[in-house]
Chain A
Amino acid sequence: MSNKKTLAFYAASGCGGCSQSLMLSPSLAAMLEGVDIAFWATQGADLTSDDISGFDDKGIDVLIYAGPLHDESSIDTAKLLRRKAKRIVSYGACAHLGGLCGLTNVYPGAQLRALSKTDGEGFVQPLSAVIDVDYILPGCPPPEAMVTRMVEELFLSDDVPEIGTVFASSKGVCAECGREHVRNPLTAIRRFHTDPPDPSVCLIDQGYICLGPVTRGGCEAVCLRSNRPCTGCAGPVAGVLDQGGAILHALASLVSFSGDGNEEKEHQVLDSIPDVVGTAYKYSAASSLLKKRVNDGK
């Protein structure tokens, strides 16, 4: 009998990016040498609930779960998988936070049902809202460095990672960015497509909205290296519950005009933040304190 760990990969739905990020990891070959594959749901054989039920309870050593939960069926499957797996990794932004699909929660029900990715009630939830999750690998899709860390700690090391481990930095993206801080007060919100930034200076210091301060690092600030702001795909830094609330709080604290009587100006700057939900909660709407839009009857 093989003494290898049993690995399963399950993608609830989604764009396929999580599966690709795992398959393209340079450490994949080493990982596969040390495991027996129970199933690989997006690339392997057809898989039904009956198939999953056929596994012994706790018969799968590690299950990597990607994709959001969006209906009763996906919730039932997640619960079934929880029974079958000793350890579950919440892999990628959709499983971790609800991901971009979570933005559908802010629409009224009729519009939700028109979105083909969210059939049924269309209420998107992260995996941890339904079952206990042992580990988290953030990112949309998870960057190579984080995937490598997960593989090494989970499959190539003799030590078992502590339950609750997030295979990312506990610090923010800012710690990896390297842009110069000029500490300018925030007096206007700028949009980078109409008003390109200085590539060497902190985007927030230039007036752009960047979620770097409130987002877990470990990605080597990949988006900022492309002169794009961090959009928060790795979720909130350790200790922060609501990523969107945290960035809005941070921005509010930076708005400043010299002299007295400028409260109105400060409000104007904050009111000018466009698409607050899509900007501050792009990936985390489903796991935020906002939860979902309530139909107000209007």
Chain B
Amino acid sequence: MASNVIALIPHFDEVVLTDNNKLAARVAIPQTGDGFSSYMRGRLAEDLPLYVQRLDTHCAVSQHLAAVSALDRCYGASPPEKAVRIRRALAYAGVYYHHLEQLFLSRPSGDVGIAGLVTTDETLAPTDIFETLGRARDVIDILGGRGITPECGIAGGVTKGPTDDELPRAKDISSHLLEFALQAEKGFRGSGAIWVTEHDLSVPAYSLGTVNDVAEASLYDGALRIVDPEGTETAVGGTKEILPILLAWKEDLPLRVGPLARLNVGSGASTPQAKALQKYLFDALGEPPIDRVAAGHWAMVIELVESAELLVSALTTLETGDSVINSALNDPCEGIAAIEGASGTLLHHYVIDEQGIVQEARIVSPESLRATEVNAALSSAISDGASGVTEGVIEQIVSVIGSYQPAYVPSAAFPLRITLHDKGGKVAKEWRRP
């Protein structure tokens, strides 16, 4: 089974354009399955949360928590409720941090500049953005033990709880984060929403996300759900039910994950203010399922508010204290876990031997799942091959990739190559972003 699981080091990739009378393009995602597993084989199981979050620190909290959940399953661990609440609060802080960074600081590509759009609201100064991002990092530091790359996750619990000094500070910060998110959403609606409605590239796609007990979008855990482009449920369940479907997913079937997919798979946002704000999106673009690519930015802004509301609420349930661990662990074995990561559904699959040493470590990341949708978007956008490979074609490709950029996390950190092939298959041109 292990060898069939898609694995990905989220290293953004290559766009290949083939000049074959009709132009076509695709995002190439490495899915050998062996690279990361080879790297991790022989490493300590308890170090997995440390390694995986450094694959991509923009999503560090999500990766960390997915690793911890998978280790829980490997060891048959039952974390105390107190630890579960800390992890959940940390997850919401991680989503907030990720979204804020992606919306405001990710490098815009092509004509996409969400940061510029939002900051047309003069009340949001760049210094406010940096300060707020720093505060979100502080909450991760308090809950996770270290900002940017948390340390607290362990099979069976967390190694750290907030102290008497830290918890009130986290609550204060979370109120600020919510206030800032509401301000950002208001600013976005004033300008960014117009931009979204003007960018009409649509990709009908299946959507994958996580829903809570009442079928609302979840930003951490719950049931995995897939709906078709019309919004009809095609699958629901845990990793046992959903993973085989994802492994057998056909490349030509667009699959959407991330903020817009989360709106599509359930009955919408789970918190009062986010519920109210999503109505503006629905008024502009219609009820879900929404297939407008640029709407992903808008959904992310709504989730900025939702994650802050969830964080505020989650912090009220926390208690102070040291580590919270149920160390009654079984002998390690195989474990698979899924969490709803900031940029989309994230699955980790580990095989641990009896000495607690990693034998297999595979990740199904949002980036690998999303590739099918990006490819469909590229096919829609690039259809005219009459002029061959031109600067205009490159701009089209960059623009499509840019449309996904806020949710396409590793593209901000890793090189992007666009390789243009002529009809004979030779490389005609290469464009590279460091």
Q: Could you tell me which A residues sit within 8 Å of B by CB distance? A: 10-11, 13-17, 19-21, 23-24, 26, 28-29, 41-44, 46-48, 100, 103-104, 107, 111, 114-117, 140-141, 144, 191-196, 199, 222-223, 225-228, 231, 274-275, 278-279, 282
Contact status of A16 and B413, CB under 8 A, knowing A114-B32, A226-B152, A278-B42? yes
| 8 Å CB contact of A191 from B11, B46, B51, B60 | B46
Contact status of A114 and B146, CB under 8 A, knowing A44-B107, A275-B44? no
CA distance A20 to B56 in the complex (A): 11
> Which residues of A are found within 8 Å of B44, using beta-carbon distances?
191, 274-275, 278-279
CA distance A107 to B46 in the complex (A): 21
Contact B47 A278 (CB under 8 A): yes
11 further contact pairs, Cβ within 8 A, besides A114-B38, A141-B148, A226-B144: A17-B148, A20-B101, A24-B137, A107-B38, A111-B34, A115-B39, A141-B57, A194-B327, A199-B322, A228-B151, A231-B50
Minimum-distance CB pairs A-B, first 9: A226-B145, A17-B57, A16-B413, A193-B46, A227-B159, A114-B35, A116-B11, A226-B151, A226-B160
Q: Could you tell me which B residues sit within 8 Å of A by CB distance? A: 9, 11, 30, 32, 34-36, 38-39, 42-47, 50-51, 54-58, 60, 71, 75, 101, 105-107, 127, 130, 133-134, 137, 144-149, 151-152, 154-156, 159-160, 322-323, 325, 327, 329, 355-357, 412-415, 432-434
Contact A107 B146 (CB under 8 A): no
Contact B148 A21 (CB under 8 A): yes
Contact A275 B357 (CB under 8 A): yes
Main secondary structure of the interface of A (DSSP, over half): loop
Contact status of A24 and B35, CB under 8 A, knowing A16-B56, A223-B145? no
> Which residues of A are found within 8 Å of B155, using beta-carbon distances?
193
Main secondary structure of the interface of B (DSSP, over half): loop
CA distance A42 to B149 in the complex (A): 19
Chain A nearest CB, measured from B80 CB (Å): 13
Smallest Cβ-Cβ distance to B358: which chain A residue: A275
Chain B nearest CB, measured from A17 CB (Å): 4
Chain A nearest CB, measured from B60 CB (Å): 7
Contact A29 B325 (CB under 8 A): no
CA distance A141 to B433 in the complex (A): 23
Smallest Cβ-Cβ distance to B157: which chain A residue: A196
Contact B130 A193 (CB under 8 A): no
